[in-house]
Structure 1
């Protein structure tokens, strides 16, 4: 288990820790991939129950304290959505296992398929604004047999670390997901220069994901396989106002959408289209 955050560490020391976490996780993944899928699913459901009951208020409080959410917002994020991710993903895996390739004459030849984790490690880089996304980005790849090196956002360390500890309590092997707080550029350099990089699971800004894609492209000949890149980046959400709209409702809803949670939601309104008939003249 690697968990590090010390402001006095220089970039060389951080790089060494990330590289050590990669090595540990790559080794742990080999054993983890042999754990039967149904056992992994049971572990995920146990963790979801812990999140929904024993640690529900703990997750909410950590999200309020570390990410400036209101109690209602924290409940929606850290409790409801995080638990939903774990339970729905476990259900999705069960659905996957129901499928097997068609065997026209099974008495002669039998086609079968087994889901395997990627050889190497998946780098999970999670955002500051949603606790649930941190747990989803790091642990959903692990559910499918992958080893994960998880870099949480600096401003979401507390809630993300609570998730990490819950998983350990549920019985998850500690070295399969390495929790490694680090500065972005150093972490990015460490993962993109490792020959064992198997994938990047990312939510964050467009420039950061562009940089990661560029670096992977530069180093593609050095990898043992072809890394999978998954990125969810920021957008421009808008309000499109109809001429029949109630102006007071529009104003209140737009202010709330744009500035609730300091405007740091993925769904924050950042553009507005207003008909001339409703726009103040003069």
Structure 2
């Protein structure tokens, strides 16, 4: 019997022993920078002429690693291998599939700082953010392993006299996992092992900016005993490989985390039935957010300011859950704004080489250019309170930025920026604040800071988001504690890290036997 699930604890870097251990892990990773990595198809290592180069966003001259780039021929080979492997993997005892996840989690736990150090280098994550990313990856393996054991016998249904009825869950087939760069370990791992533990096989296409940590993870799964062909590592172009796999008649399930535009396009493509396809494809998408921290006039204003800053600037705002909007009651607007500006100006920004660096770089040149263009838009639409400067001479660094006095329908209040910018808008009353919070096409996360019980209860009903938090920040969902997914154009609200998630990767089957 497995012990009760508890989430992986975060590392306390105020303890010298932990800092020294992390520094040692960074040194280990630095000794491996620049290596080349192959594709993995059916356990076979494949090298191609075309490559993807992973760069440290905090130091553009530092190559983290070079991976072979999959093409359509390799993608076709991978899907045939995965389809063949499915025939045996689907029949493996669910407990054994779960045990592989638990073993892999234990292996990662022993190398926790090493994986976090890869995230520091490849994703530009500060130590605290990298540590949380790795902890969440461990959580996904542990939680989904335990959830599979809960679901392995199906659910109870009624039987009449003389018959035995069962309701069980069976695997679907080949899954295409298209994972993002912002949680390069946690989301990549979670969206890979959920289909695996439920008996499906996987083609993993990680983000091209962060392919190395994904390769390291696949190595762990192999070492934990995952049979060849159950997971296949095929980084490549979305236009060439991604579309090909989404369209393929052997694809049964697609799980994607990324932008709204790509997610909507993928959802549409997956709906088309191709020649030789005998099933409808199932799609799980998480597409982003434009998330709001609402501050009531009856609130702890220091807590409100801290919640806004944490929500907006953790990992440089590069989270779909990031609180990029603060909607504040007019009675406390100026005071909250002043507190947020003071906290923001105290944040440290730079290379994440030490534990006390709060913000590192944004992920690449494209992100840098996009975010800086929104700074200019913000100057036209609102009042720049602090920040607004960027420096891409060595890495892609942008100062945490606060804009005030934005109209609710302005671009800064409506469009997902995915960077360290927070926009303030003034509300006449609490009902007005909730109306503003709901006025985007997204519905992922939100936070309400209030001591007014009636307003809290109102928000529970009227604030239309998948993850709603009270008197705290709107980021940092923990597996098994805060199942994660959003409404509206934020995706299919699939609730990763929750009790319903694995069922999305399976089909329900009713079996009735007469005595």
TM-score, scaled to structure 2: 0.50
CA RMSD in angstroms, aligned pairs only: 2.6
CA–CA distance in 2 between the matches of 1:17 and 1:164?
Answer: 17
Q: Is 1:96 paired with 2:151?
A: yes
Query: What does residue 196 of structure 1 align with?
Result: 250
Q: 1:276 to 1:118 in 2, by over 3 A?
A: same
Q: Is 1:75 paired with 2:131?
A: yes
Query: What does residue 32 of structure 1 align with?
Result: 89
CA–CA distance in 2 between the matches of 1:133 and 1:5?
Answer: 26
Q: 1:242 to 1:174 in 2, by over 3 A?
A: same
The match for 1:122 among 131, 153, 175 is 175
| Unaligned segments of structure 1, at least 5 residues | none
CA–CA distance in 1 between the matches of 2:124 and 2:47?
Answer: 21
Write 1 or 2 for the structure with the bigger share of helix.
Answer: 1
CA contact (8 A) 2:246 2:254 kept: no
CA–CA distance in 2 between the matches of 1:238 and 1:6?
Answer: 45
Query: What does residue 16 of structure 1 align with?
Result: 73
CA–CA distance in 1 between the matches of 2:303 and 2:93?
Answer: 53
Deviation at 1:72, TM superposition (A): 1.5
After superposition, the C-alpha distances for 1:159-214 in whole angstroms (9 at most, x for unaligned) are 22221111011011131111110111222321133110101111111111111111
Deviation at 1:141, TM superposition (A): 0.5
Deviation at 1:260, TM superposition (A): 2.5
TM-score, scaled to structure 1: 0.88
After superposition, the C-alpha distances for 1:204-249 in whole angstroms (9 at most, x for unaligned) are 1111111111112233565221111111110111111223556666
CA contact (8 A) 2:311 2:322 kept: yes
SS of the residue 2:216 aligns to: helix
The match for 2:114 among 51, 55, 58 is 58
| Unaligned segments of structure 2, at least 5 residues | 1-39, 53-68, 335-403, 406-515
Q: Is 1:176 paired with 2:240?
A: no
CA–CA distance in 2 between the matches of 1:253 and 1:35?
Answer: 46
CA–CA distance in 2 between the matches of 1:246 and 1:14?
Answer: 55
Q: 1:13 to 1:163 in 2, by over 3 A?
A: closer
The match for 1:268 among 322, 326, 343 is 322
Query: What does residue 136 of structure 1 align with?
Result: 190
Query: What does residue 374 of structure 2 align with?
Result: none
CA–CA distance in 2 between the matches of 1:185 and 1:103?
Answer: 50
CA–CA distance in 1 between the matches of 2:309 and 2:95?
Answer: 47
CA contact (8 A) 1:204 1:232 kept: yes
Q: 1:253 to 1:5 in 2, by over 3 A?
A: farther
CA contact (8 A) 1:5 1:181 kept: no
The match for 1:111 among 150, 162, 165 is 165
SS of the residue 1:274 aligns to: strand
After superposition, the C-alpha distances for 1:45-88 in whole angstroms (9 at most, x for unaligned) are 111111112x212211111111111222112111x211111111
Query: What does residue 101 of structure 2 align with?
Result: 44
Rg comparison, structure with higher value: 2
Deviation at 1:25, TM superposition (A): 0.8
SS of the residue 1:116 aligns to: strand
After superposition, the C-alpha distances for 1:142-168 in whole angstroms (9 at most, x for unaligned) are 111101111111122122222111101
Q: How many residues align?
A: 276
SS of the residue 1:239 aligns to: strand
CA contact (8 A) 2:296 2:328 kept: yes
CA contact (8 A) 2:249 2:275 kept: no
Q: 1:169 to 1:68 in 2, by over 3 A?
A: same
CA–CA distance in 2 between the matches of 1:168 and 1:148?
Answer: 13
